[in-house]
Amino acid sequence: MIDFRGGWVMNMDFGLYQQQSMKLVMTNELRQAISILQYSTHELLSFIEEQQLENPLLEVKDKKINDVQKSAKSETDYEKVADWKTYEGDYTSPLDYVSKNEASLQDHLFNQIRFMPLNDAEKKIIQYFVDSLDENGYFTGDLEEVASHFSITEEKALYCLHFLQSLDPVGIGARSLQECLLLQLRKLDHRNNVAETIVESYLTMFANKKWKEIAKALSISVEEVQSVADLIQTLQPKPGAIYNNDPLTYISPDAFIELIDGQFFISMNDHLIPNLTVSRHYQDLLKKATDETSQKYVQQKHQQILWLLKSINQRQQTLLKVTEAIAKYQEDFFKFGYDYLKPLTLKEIAADIDMHESTVSRVTTQKYVQTPRGLFELKYFFSSSIKSEGGTNASSLSVKELIKKIVDQENKQKPLSDQKIVAVLEKDHSIEVSRRTVTKYREELNIPSSAKRKRF
């Protein structure tokens, strides 16, 4: 339409138009299946508990020992909601539940304070200090605030803190690492004045291993400084940590790779997952309901259980396929050791088992496998490649192992620099890497530089 005033006017008509398009919609069931695939065993068990609370038809049963053979003879019929008949778990010794120290750090200190020749006011102040200790046994508060809280002088507060520092374990109540080490050095049967002087006045230089400067300043030999370093290594930098009563966390493997007579056998640790069944009590009760709403509710909850079982089964089957593919690809590693670990990518495993790369990534997250070489997270076997002579590639993980071995076997009086490690890798192992790569791998292995590894 033309506007006679010299412009254009847009014709905006309203109407209904039909347009066909395709859109991918992720249902709740599909989202649940993806989540279950990525769950660790602990997370999966927590999810099953949640489902049990939300679904009255779902019944979770502990597995029995005599169910092992039944599970080996027949496959699970998920359409009939059959049980997984496998052994619930290996025997656990009661000794596994005994902590290193049954009493907490606070209880241990209070028991000592109770029998000390102190008045009630002093005991309250020292108990206040005890309650203020962090998990490592350090006092990180402020003396001025403590003095103000109890209406005492800072000198009195410091006296009570020093009394706390005289208790067991040695080093408790320290306000810094320096003070913690000094408290322990001063309690030795044979005091080392050189060690106390170094910790008190040269701790930063000592930590940076500037031993020659320290030796020159104190007019002692470098060997004496080194002996102090060996002594300090025997001290406890976190005296309160030994009373940490947090429950131990055990990692149970999701799968097993066994080598028997030169043959690999891969099996799943299905006994970690409980038996899931439909509760007959609720099923019979709800079947008696004649109204349509109740029947629809029963069918919905029953379908949820079927989908849950199907998702868990898919998780286990996918995990089994991935583990089998890894065992096949890393066969030399399981037989001969770390030097034979091959570079491997998620894409290669995904292509081998005809699955998407994201699926392999999810199923290897927080999943563990027990192998002839120990317990590993499945992610461990995926690493980048390093070029080597002869056209073959070495795994970055195997290169790290080689670096660790080279450092362990070096002459500690003349430790190898990163550039010399590069030369050793190229000469003895035909692996070409840059000095920067060696430095990166060394730092990831928490190996100090050559200057800090040197012994005199």
Q: Is residue 133 predicted with pLDDT exceeding 50?
A: yes
- Residues 367 and 255 sit within 8 Å (Cβ to Cβ): yes
Residue 13's pLDDT band, with cuts at 50, 70 and 90, is low
pLDDT at 342: 87
pLDDT at 72: 40
pLDDT at 158: 92
371: closest CA among 415, 410, 333, 344? Answer: 333
196: closest CA among 182, 217, 211? Answer: 182
Tell me the average pLDDT across 89-98: 40
Residue 19's pLDDT band, with cuts at 50, 70 and 90, is low
pLDDT at 257: 92
- Structure confidence by residue, pLDDT tens digits, 284-309: 766 676 677 777 887 888 888 888 88
- Residues 393 and 400 sit within 8 Å (Cβ to Cβ): no
Q: Is residue 325 predicted with pLDDT exceeding 90?
A: yes
Higher pLDDT, 130 or 299: 130
The HSE-up count of residue 110 (CA atoms within 13 Å, CB side) is 11
Q: Is residue 335 predicted with pLDDT exceeding 70?
A: yes
Average pLDDT, the chain: 81
Higher pLDDT, 244 or 437: 437
Tell me how crowded residue 29 is: count the other CB atoms within 10 A of its CB: 14
Higher pLDDT, 296 or 419: 419
Tell me the average pLDDT across 412-432: 87
pLDDT at 283: 67
- Structure confidence by residue, pLDDT tens digits, 360-373: 999 998 899 999 98
Higher pLDDT, 446 or 391: 446
Q: Which range is most confident: 65-79, 113-127, 272-286?
A: 113-127
Query: Distance between alpha carbon 445 and the CA centroid of its chain, in Å?
Result: 16
Tell me the average pLDDT across 229-243: 88
Tell me the average pLDDT across 406-419: 88
pLDDT at 397: 81
Are β-strands 255-260 and 368-371 bridged in parallel, bridged antiparallel, or unpaired? parallel
Q: Is residue 145 predicted with pLDDT exceeding 80?
A: yes
The pair of structure tokens assigned to 451 is: 């200057």
The rounded distance, in Å, linking the Cα atoms of 305 and 48 is: 10
Tell me the average pLDDT across 385-406: 75
Q: Is residue 4 predicted with pLDDT exceeding 60?
A: no
- Strand residue runs (E) in 49-164: 58-61
Residue 164 to residues 123, 174, 242, 415, Cα–Cα distance (Å): 10, 9, 17, 43
pLDDT at 84: 31
Q: Which residues of 204-215 are buried (b: 16+ CB within 10 A; e: fewer)?
A: ebbeebbbeebb
Q: Is residue 6 predicted with pLDDT exceeding 80?
A: no
The pair of structure tokens assigned to 140 is: 């990180």
End-to-end CA gap in the chain? 94
CATH code assigned to 385-456: 1.10.10.60
* Phi, psi dihedral angles at 17 (to 5 degrees): -125, 140
Residue 309 amino acid letter: L
**What ranges in 186-291 are assigned the alpha helix state H?**
193-201, 203-207, 211-218, 222-232, 280-287
Q: Is residue 319 predicted with pLDDT exceeding 90?
A: yes
Q: Cis ω on the peptide bond leading into residue 169 (within 30° of 0)?
A: yes
pLDDT at 280: 78
Residue 244 amino acid letter: N
Which long-range CB contacts under 8 A does 183-191 form with residues at least 24 apart? Answer: 184/235, 184/236, 185/235
Secondary structure class of 266 (helix, strand, coil): strand
pLDDT at 94: 39
Percent of the chain exceeding pLDDT 90 equals: 25
The rounded distance, in Å, linking the Cα atoms of 181 and 200 is: 9
Residue 22's pLDDT band, with cuts at 50, 70 and 90, is low
Q: Enumerate helices (H) and strands (E) in the chain, giving the number of each.
A: 21, 10
Q: Is residue 178 predicted with pLDDT exceeding 90?
A: yes
The rounded distance, in Å, linking the Cα atoms of 84 and 63 is: 8
Residue 37's pLDDT band, with cuts at 50, 70 and 90, is confident
* Phi, psi dihedral angles at 397 (to 5 degrees): -70, -40
pLDDT at 287: 67
pLDDT at 367: 92
Tell me the average pLDDT across 354-361: 90
Q: Is residue 340 predicted with pLDDT exceeding 90?
A: no
* Phi, psi dihedral angles at 38 (to 5 degrees): -90, -20
The rounded distance, in Å, linking the Cα atoms of 324 and 266 is: 7
Residue 444's pLDDT band, with cuts at 50, 70 and 90, is confident
Residue 245's pLDDT band, with cuts at 50, 70 and 90, is low
Tell me the average pLDDT across 257-282: 85
Residue 396's pLDDT band, with cuts at 50, 70 and 90, is confident
**Domain extents in the chain:** 26-97+249-382, 105-243, 385-456
Q: Is residue 185 predicted with pLDDT exceeding 70?
A: yes
324: closest CA among 375, 261, 371? Answer: 371
